């Protein structure tokens, strides 16, 4: 279990750049965030605000410069308002930074504890050289309990295969003990050559759209390549915790191995060894290049929804109005065009507003395009 926590902490820490971390911590320690930290953190939005403020005050002071008193009045007023607004922003940002900093320190603490635990485990029982001590949590005790539990669960399916245990074949418990360290791991650069690498890169983009935050959308194109943090991470972390918690099937007959990309935790590779008594017996089948299916499905829906939203936004603003689809289901009759009604079934009341839209007339029945398509399908 400690291994899971360690990995999650590692993922979290990776998601935040070192420079950013340093900036954040310094910002939290001082009462006011240092300007460099703030600039780095807020990115495009805040700098644009500052720019606007910087441009505004001279332009406002210029006309005021003609009459001395008025100029001073405006000059004092606008920075005061700006200061109040800025203070608000700063306060909000500071609470955010504090929470992030506490999370970072917690993650580091977990990592430290994990390292010390693994070191202690190594000192207590040194593993054989061929067996890499990757898992600090999986001591021999835990593996034996695990194999017992598995034996109970799968005892039914193995009734007929008991005969294979003699003539030098490795026993069930031995196999499990040897393979436990390999079941689940993270791997560097798994997404290189991964079939779904592009989709993975785009995941972040979709989440930005879903939030509907247009200020974020401006930054999307700079960040779309990295997948290291985002709202999906908690969901993925749950999945990972489920897998690494010992839920993966591990049997001599057939077992499952999972590798997750170090930087992009949505990119998974899965290997399943072929079960006994099947034509796949003993083979290593890598469903490698497959992303988290469930996530992809969810994200697909998200994309449709958010693109529609975006389009509405634009059309409201008066640009890109042509993008909006006219509802083609029951179009109103255009003037001059003959209105024809589909007579295929009583229920279909599809009124076509142009001759071109009417489908083939067969057996004296005038069908609309939709009915034609439907009947074609049903004839198949």
The residue ranges that bind other proteins (CB under 8 A) are 132, 164, 167-170, 174-175, 178-179, 182, 185, 187, 190, 239, 242-243, 247-249, 252, 254-259, 268-275, 277-288, 292-294
Collapse the DSSP code of 82 into the 3-class scheme (helix H, G, I; strand E, B; otherwise coil) and give the result: helix
Residue 131 token pair:
């067996």
Q: For the range 217-225, what are the long-range contacts, defined as Cβ-Cβ under 8 Å and sequence gap of 24 or more?
A: 218/44, 218/45, 219/43, 219/44, 219/45, 225/201
Per the CB < 8 A criterion, the answer to whether 320 and 307 are in contact is no
Distance, CA of 253 to CA of 232 (rounded, Å):
34
Minimum CB separation from other proteins for residue 230, in Å?
18
Nearer to other proteins, 209 or 257 (CB): 257
Nearer to other proteins, 121 or 190 (CB): 190
Q: Which residue has the tokens 């499905």?
A: 297
Minimum CB separation from other proteins for residue 258, in Å?
8
Minimum CB separation from other proteins for residue 287, in Å?
7
Q: Which residue has the tokens 């560097």?
A: 188
For 178, residues 6+ apart whose C-beta sits below 8 A from its C-beta are 131, 170
Minimum CB separation from other proteins for residue 372, in Å?
28
Minimum CB separation from other proteins for residue 229, in Å?
20
Q: Put residue 282 in one of left, alpha, beta given phi > 0 → left and psi -120 to 50 → alpha.
A: left
Minimum CB separation from other proteins for residue 31, in Å?
46
Nearer to other proteins, 256 or 354 (CB): 256
Nearer to other proteins, 175 or 305 (CB): 175
| DSSP H or E run through 341 | strand 340-341
Query: 362 - beta bridge partners?
Result: 365
Nearer to other proteins, 61 or 256 (CB): 256
Nearer to other proteins, 64 or 274 (CB): 274
Minimum CB separation from other proteins for residue 232, in Å?
13
Residue 239 token pair:
């999945």
Q: Which residue has the tokens 């399908």?
A: 377
Distance, CA of 269 to CA of 280 (rounded, Å):
19
Residue 230 token pair:
């985002």
Q: State residue 3 phi and psi, 5-degree precision.
A: -65, -40
Burial class (CB within 10 angstroms; exposed 0-12, middle 13-18, buried 19+) of 180: buried
Minimum CB separation from other proteins for residue 244, in Å?
11
Nearer to other proteins, 136 or 359 (CB): 136
Nearer to other proteins, 263 or 270 (CB): 270
């Amino acid at each position: 279990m400690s291994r899971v926590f360690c990995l999650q902490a590692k993922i979290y820490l990776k998601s935040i750049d070192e420079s950013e971390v340093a900036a954040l911590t310094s910002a939290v320690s001082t009462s006011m965030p240092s300007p460099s930290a703030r600039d780095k953190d807020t990115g495009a939005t805040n700098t644009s605000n500052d720019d606007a403020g910087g441009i505004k005050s001279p332009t406002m002071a210029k006309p005021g410069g003609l009459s001395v008193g008025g100029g001073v009045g405006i000059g004092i007023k606008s920075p005061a308002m700006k200061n109040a607004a800025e203070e608000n922003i700063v306060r909000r940002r500071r609470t955010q930074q504090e929470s992030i900093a506490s999370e970072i320190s917690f993650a580091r603490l977990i990592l430290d504890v994990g390292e010390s635990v693994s070191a202690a485990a190594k000192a207590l029982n040194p593993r054989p050289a061929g067996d890499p001590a990757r898992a600090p949590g999986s001591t021999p005790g835990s593996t034996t309990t695990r194999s017992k539990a598995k034996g109970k669960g799968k005892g039914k399916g193995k009734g007929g295969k008991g005969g294979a245990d003699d003539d030098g074949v490795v026993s069930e418990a031995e196999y499990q003990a040897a393979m436990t360290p390999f079941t689940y791991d993270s791997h560097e650069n798994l997404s290189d050559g991964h079939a779904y690498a592009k989709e993975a890169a785009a995941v972040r983009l979709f989440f930005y759209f879903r939030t509907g935050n247009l200020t974020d959308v401006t930054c999307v194109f700079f960040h779309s390549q990295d997948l290291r943090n985002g709202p999906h991470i908690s969901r993925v972390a749950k999945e990972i915790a489920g897998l690494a918690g010992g839920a993966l099937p591990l049997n001599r007959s057939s077992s499952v191995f999972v590798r997750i990309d170090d930087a992009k935790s949505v990119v998974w590779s899965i290997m399943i060894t072929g079960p006994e008594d099947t034509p796949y017996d003993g083979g290593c089948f890598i469903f490698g290049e497959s992303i988290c299916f469930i996530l992809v499905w969810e994200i697909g829906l998200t994309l449709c929804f958010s693109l529609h939203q975006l389009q509405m936004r634009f059309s409201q603003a008066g640009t890109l109005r042509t993008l909006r689809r006219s509802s083609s289901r029951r179009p109103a009759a255009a003037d001059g065009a003959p209105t024809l009604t589909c007579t295929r079934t009583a229920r279909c009341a599809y009124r076509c507003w142009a001759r071109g839209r009417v489908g083939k007339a067969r057996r004296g029945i005038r069908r609309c395009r939709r009915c034609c398509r439907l009947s074609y399908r049903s004839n198949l």
